[in-house]
Amino acid sequence: MDTSNRAKQEYDQMVKKASPNSPIFTNCVKAFFSGGLICGFGQLLLDYFSKTNSEDDAALMLSVTLIAISAVLTGFGLYEKMGKQCGAGTIVPITGFANSVVSPAIEFKKEGLIFGTGAKMFILAGPVIVYGTLTSMIVGIIYYFIGR
Amino acid sequence: MISLLKAFLVGGILCVIGQILIDKTKLTSGRILVIYVCAGCILGALGIYKPLKEFGGAGATVPLTGFGYLLAEGVMKEVDSSGFWGIFTGGLKAASGGITAAVVFAFLVALVTNPKEK
């Protein structure tokens, strides 16, 4: 009885480990393909923009285009639908950053354009900009004094 | 065509790392975004992100780590060209296009749409 119980437990653990249907595994596959597709689409755009523009300009055009597309999709409520399926695949790309700005901008419109849309659009992007700026500041200081 | 596959691969892997962080640590998406920007900035400063960008193209620049990388590159370039005060301007200058685009498009979309009733 004791051994069979232990065997069962061990078996359960083995199944847990090997099972490709564990939610994390499925989520990762979805994130891989959706995030990969967004980046692949980005590469298509980048190759197109790079034909007639400098590298820096093409990179900027890519960011602006992806942000615009994400904003429109968010406006129609489609980005959230994708997000439910794709998880990090739609959060991590810059389209996810754009979504994090557009989504509260729409949602808090009922609190007015100034303190609703204007203030709340940074509810998620604010921390990103704050900590990004702080980190770049530290990088700049270290680079100025030791890096060069 | 090869560049496309590389972008797919690198971008996909960066998203998988984010997914593992979400599933294993219960970090919210906002925190993931902050971690990604800071990580990209630090990896950029250490010179680790540049080769990744050269290999993966948009696969490395589209995920938010690419935004952090942009901040690091920007601040270092600006320090090179304008010295100490570049520390204050370089980062956000490099990121200004993305931030402006996000603000403008968010505002425009918010103007023409209404929140869904829940």
Size of interface A-B (CB pairs under 8 A): 282
pLDDT band for B75, please (50, 70, 90 cuts).
very high
Nearest to B88 by CA among A129, A133, A56, A130: A133
Instruction: Indicate yes or no: CB of B98 within 8 angstroms of CB of A67.
Output: yes
Asked whether residue B91 is domain-assigned, the answer is yes
Contact map slice: A 36-95 vs B, CB within 8 A: 36-40, 42-47, 59-60, 62-64, 66-68, 71-72, 74-77, 87-89, 91-95
Instruction: Indicate yes or no: CB of B62 within 8 angstroms of CB of A66.
Output: yes
Burial (Cβ within 10 Å: 0-12, 13-18, ≥19) of residue B51: exposed
Domain of B88 in residue numbering reads as 2-112
Phi, psi of B26 (to 5 degrees): 60, 25
C-alpha of B19 from chain center: 16
Q: What pLDDT shows up at residue A18? A: 55
B8 vs B34: CA distance, rounded Å: 23
Contacts of B55 (CB under 8 A, 6+ apart): B6, B10
Q: What pLDDT shows up at residue A2? A: 61
User: Residue B114 in contact with residue A109, Cβ under 8 Å?
Assistant: yes
Which residue of A63, A91, A110 is in closest CB contact with B32? A91
Q: What pLDDT shows up at residue A5? A: 74
Per-residue pLDDT of chain A (148 residues; tens, 9 = 90+): 566 677 777 766 665 555 555 788 999 999 999 999 999 999 999 999 999 999 999 999 999 999 999 999 999 999 999 998 899 999 999 999 999 999 999 999 999 999 999 999 999 999 999 999 999 999 999 999 997 6
Which residue of A45, A68, A144 is in closest CB contact with B101? A68
Asked whether residue B117 is domain-assigned, the answer is no
Q: What pLDDT shows up at residue A15? A: 58
B28-68 per-position pLDDT tens digit: 889 999 999 999 999 999 999 999 999 999 999 999 999 99
Asked whether residue B58 is domain-assigned, the answer is yes
Contacts of B22 (CB under 8 A, 6+ apart): A27, A87, A88, A91, B29, B32
User: Residue A120 in contact with residue B38, Cβ under 8 Å?
Assistant: no
Q: What pLDDT shows up at residue B118? A: 54
Domain count, chain B: 1
Q: How many residues does chain B have?
A: 118
Instruction: Indicate yes or no: CB of A94 within 8 angstroms of CB of B19.
Output: no
Asked whether residue B118 is domain-assigned, the answer is no
Residue A118, min C-alpha distance to chain B (Å)? 8
Contact map slice: A 96-135 vs B, CB within 8 A: 96-98, 100-102, 105-110, 113, 117-118, 121, 124-125, 127-129, 131-133, 135
B17 interaction partners in chain A (CB closer than 8 Å)? 88
Instruction: Indicate yes or no: CB of B92 within 8 angstroms of CB of A136.
Output: yes
